[in-house]
Amino acid sequence: MPEDQLPSGGERPLDAIDEAILRLLRNDGRASVRSVAERVHISRANAYARINRLVETQVIRGFTARIDHERAGQGTCAYVTLKIVQDSWRTVREQLAGLPGAAHIALVSGDFDVLLLVHTSDNRQLRELVLTRIQAIPEVLSTRTLLVFEETDLLPEP
């Protein structure tokens, strides 16, 4: 398949070098192109082209900082599960995305419909978020809050 032609699903298969670049950038999004090139044993021009292609094809959706939420004053973390009105996912997702402290939203299968990860300063703010903001969304039928005691980000080995 020619390099510029994508498979029918729109995705492009990643080779071992692309995967190595993604691992490096996931661990250090500020790594220089020169550093990435040296570590995966390709030229800087090749590394630059590959990173640009990964960005243009939205394999890389952006570069962010990993935050220590506790040090940032958001020491309380919880997963909130929601049951919602059927066919209301897009509306609910929009409203949840605007909540302060919302970090991740997923439509899931099983005993509930939505899984929401939130970070707040303390339990009082968490209670306010769940009982006042989330439960006030008309399409939310019920919630359950799972307090996180400790969390660890899992990053790929370089």
- CATH number for the domain harbouring residue 21: 1.10.10.10
Number of domains in the chain: 2
Write down the pLDDT at residue 10. Answer: 58
pLDDT: is 128 or 67 the higher one? 128
The residue among 144 and 156 whose pLDDT is bigger is: 144
User: pLDDT tens digits for 70-101?
Assistant: 899 999 999 999 999 999 999 999 999 999 99
The answer to whether position 78 is within a domain reads: yes
Q: How confident is the model at residue 143 (pLDDT cuts 50, 70, 90)?
A: very high
With a cut of 50, say whether residue 59 has pLDDT above it.
yes
Tell me which of 148 and 158 has the higher pLDDT.
Answer: 148
Task: Tell me which residue of 70, 65, 66, 67 sits closest to 149, measured CA to CA.
Answer: 70
- In-domain check, residue 1: no
Look up the domain containing 36 and give its range. 16-57
Report the pLDDT value the prediction gives residue 158, as an integer from 0 to 100: 55
Q: Is residue 135 part of a domain?
A: yes
Q: Is residue 4 part of a domain?
A: no
| 44 and 76, same domain (yes or no) | no
- CA distances from residue 90 to 5, 24, 61, 84, 105 in whole angstroms, order as listed: 32, 34, 21, 11, 11
Cα 67 from Cα 102, distance rounded (Å)? 14
Q: What is the pLDDT of residue 8?
A: 44
149-158: Cβ within 8 A, 24+ apart: 151/77, 153/66, 155/26, 155/27, 156/23, 156/26, 156/27, 157/23, 158/23, 158/24, 158/27, 158/39
Give me the chain's average pLDDT, please: 90
Q: Does the pLDDT at position 157 exceed 70?
A: no
Say yes or no: 43 and 94 in one domain: no
Note the Cα 103 to chain centre separation in Å. 8
Would you say 83 and 141 are in contact if contact means Cβ atoms under 8 Å apart?
yes
pLDDT tens column, 16-56: 999 999 999 998 899 999 999 999 999 999 999 999 999 99
Same-domain status, 78 and 110: yes
Considering the domain architecture, whether residues 99 and 46 belong to the same structural domain is answered as no
